[in-house]
Chain A
Amino acid sequence: MSDEKLKSAYNAYVSASAPADCSACPSPEKLEALAAGNDAAGDSTSMALFDHVFSCAYCREDFALLRSVQSATNSTANRRSKLHTFTGVAAAAVLLLAIGFGTNKLLRSPDVIVRGAPDGASDVILISPVATVNFADVGKFSWQGVAGASSYELEVLDTNGVVVLTRVTANTSLPLPTDDAARVASLPSFDWFVTARRADGNERRSAITRVRLSAKPNR
């Protein structure tokens, strides 16, 4: 039985058995993290996600696009890195020259706006909760504001990347209603991030942050 035969049959099967919708699929942000290799298969959660991605027609298609772009980006960065190794002295000289002229713009890109910071470099800074949270505080989310932002979208995901809730606010904090807080508190751990939207349609996003509940509710 040839490898091509196996691939052909498997791929046809996956395409033919696509789910009705993507409600049980990992979020695009989670897929991006997987495609970037930021979420290597070190634990059972990541393994379960990878298992889903390569058995789901939609996720596999989405992952392929994200992975292709990431691979192209990484391979270019690697080539540039090697080139830089050989031209280290020249680069240092250029750097000094740039500093000498005070041309800060040579060193940094202009004040640009990127929708959905792709590499973990984020502009929305999450304040709370991070790392762990008490049950009583689970519904209190806050982050630093972004200049010009007209609204913020808070998204909470379970550790499989499935969206638990999405809320929009104009403020930099969001106390969840009791029902929503209870949904989040029912998870042992959750991920959350905030997308800042400007009036011109541009966006900036925070890093995805994982939070563990540190205490069970008192009954």
Chain B
Amino acid sequence: MSPASTDPFSLQLEATLARFGRLVRAIGARHGVSDSELDVLSQEIRIRLWRAHSDSEEISRLPTSYVYRTAVSAALDMVRKRRRNEAREPTMDSAPTSALVSQLSADSDALTSDLGAAIARELATMVEARRVVVRMHLSGYERTEIMTVLGWSDAKVRNLLYRGLQDLRERLTRAGFSWAENS
């Protein structure tokens, strides 16, 4: 943690970072981005700003948009670093509902594993547009965000998502998967 400071430069920087951090955490939590990842990102942004702007007057004039641009480039570099890490393994946090999985019994684990494989298999044979929307939904993306990322209208996304999920459920049922409605 950075040492507490009362100079205007640090206060302003920390306030901006805190505001930004809250937003990123709120959004990132929906997509399984871990707190530790975001802590690393915040620290990286802080270091970049300090390095590029040693003068407190200079940094006090930095527009907030500049801090955000720095955040985007820092995130991109984090991804680059992860790609270079050959021993990388997916974090369980990448699965938004992984905690639920870990609490299931061994039988349920096996069932979940079978179901996951069946979902992947059925998705692979779906029309691409429908498949992508359903994958995003299952990965924790809300409809509005799917619209933004894909650049599609609400009507198009809604239609593809509802039909896609219905299609998936029917296929899974035909494949022998069935649960009570409240399961």
Q: How far is the CA of A3 from the CA of B141 in the complex (A)?
A: 13
A-B interface, 10 closest residue pairs, ranked by CB to CB distance from nearest: A40-B151, A13-B116, A11-B95, A118-B72, A57-B90, A54-B135, A72-B23, A64-B31, A68-B28, A9-B115
In the complex, number of A-B residue pairs with CB atoms less than 8 Å apart: 243
Q: Known A-B contacts: A15-B95, A40-B151. Give 19 more (CB < 8 A).
A: A1-B178, A2-B182, A4-B97, A5-B115, A10-B119, A10-B120, A11-B32, A11-B139, A18-B90, A28-B76, A51-B135, A54-B136, A55-B123, A64-B32, A66-B72, A68-B28, A73-B72, A109-B63, A114-B66
Asked if A76 meets B132 with Cβ closer than 8 Å, knowing A28-B83, A55-B120, A71-B145, the reply is: no
* B interface, size bucket: 35 or more
* Interface residues, chain A, with chain B CB atoms under 8 Å away: 1-18, 21-22, 25, 28-29, 31-32, 34-37, 40-42, 44, 47-48, 50-51, 54-55, 57-58, 60-62, 64-73, 75-77, 80, 105-106, 109-110, 112-119, 202
Q: Does B79 contact A (CB under 8 A)?
A: yes
Q: Are B150 and A50 neighbours in the complex by a CB distance under 8 Å?
A: yes
B71 lies within 8 A of chain A by Cβ: yes
User: Could you tell me the dominant secondary structure of chain A's interface residues?
Assistant: helix
Instruction: Give the residue name and chain of the B residue nearest to A3 (CB).
Output: B165
Given A64-B28, A65-B78, does the pair A8, B101 have CB atoms closer than 8 Å?
A: yes
Q: Give 1 or 0 for each of B113-127: 1 = CB within 8 Å of chain A CB.
A: 101110110010000
Q: Is there an interface contact between B94 and A57, defined as CB atoms closer than 8 Å?
A: yes
Sample of 19 A–B contacts (CB below 8 Å): A2-B182, A2-B183, A5-B183, A6-B119, A11-B98, A12-B113, A14-B139, A15-B90, A15-B94, A16-B113, A50-B150, A57-B94, A68-B24, A71-B23, A72-B23, A72-B24, A110-B62, A114-B69, A114-B73
CB of A118 within 8 A of CB of B149, answer no
A13/B120 contact (C-beta < 8 A), A65-B33, A71-B145 known:
yes
- Interface of chain B: mostly helix, strand, loop or mixed: helix
Q: B148-183 interface mask toward A, CB cutoff 8 Å, 1 = contact, 0 = none?
A: 111110000000000001001100110001110111
Interface string of B63-87 (1 = CB under 8 A from A): 1111011111111111110110010
Do residues B71 and A13 form an inter-chain contact, with CB atoms below 8 A? no
Chain B residues near A18: list those with CB within 8 A: 89-90
Which residues from A are CB-within-8-Å of B97?
Answer: 4, 7-8, 11
In the bound complex, CA of A96 to CA of B151 (Å): 37
Q: B68's contact among A41, A72, A115, by CB below 8 Å, is which?
A: A72
B128 touches A47 (CB 8 A): yes
Could you tell me the distance between the alpha carbons of A3 and B100 in the complex, rounded to whole angstroms? Answer: 13
Output the least CB separation between B137 and chain A (Å): 8
Shortest Cβ distance from A75 into B: residue: B23
Inter-chain contact B27/A71, CB cutoff 8 Å:
yes
Pairwise interchain contact A22-B116, C-beta atoms closer than 8 A:
no
Q: B76 touching A110 by the CB < 8 A rule?
A: no
CB–CB A65/B37 < 8 A: yes
Known: A8-B100, A12-B98, A13-B113. A37 touches B77 (CB 8 A): no
Contact A115 B113 (CB under 8 A): no
Asked if residues B48 and A115 are in contact (CB atoms below 8 Å), the reply is: yes
Cα A69 to Cα B90 with chains together (Å): 20
**Contact residues in B for A76 (Cβ distance below 8 Å):** 19-20, 23, 64, 68
